[in-house]
Amino acid sequence: GAWQPALQLLHDMAEDHIERATITFNAAVSACEKGGVWERALQLLLEMVKDRVERDTITYSAAISACEKGGAYGPALQLLCEM
C-alpha cells in the first residue's frame, strides 16, 4: 500500500536530519489510515510525542479514523479523550 513509502520517507527524513513537522506526520498517519494499519498510526503518534512534534486535530482525526476502520474502538476513544 501507499503507507509503506510514506513511512519510509518519514524514516529517511529522520536519518538525514530533516525536520519532521506536524504536517509530515499527518500525511504518514493518513496513509496508515488509508492502508488499514491502525497500530502503525498509533506508533506514529507516540513518535511525535518522543520527537516533541505537535499533534493537531488532523493528526487525531486520521488516527481515530484508522482505529475505527480497524475495529479498535478502545484506542479510538482514548484518542478522542486526549484531544
Question: How many other C-beta atoms are found inside a 10 Å radius of the C-beta of residue 58?
Answer: 15
pLDDT tens digits for range 15-69: 999 999 999 999 999 999 999 999 999 999 999 999 999 999 999 999 999 999 9
Which residue in this structure is represented by grid cell 510525542?
Answer: 49
Q: What is the pTM of this model?
A: 0.91
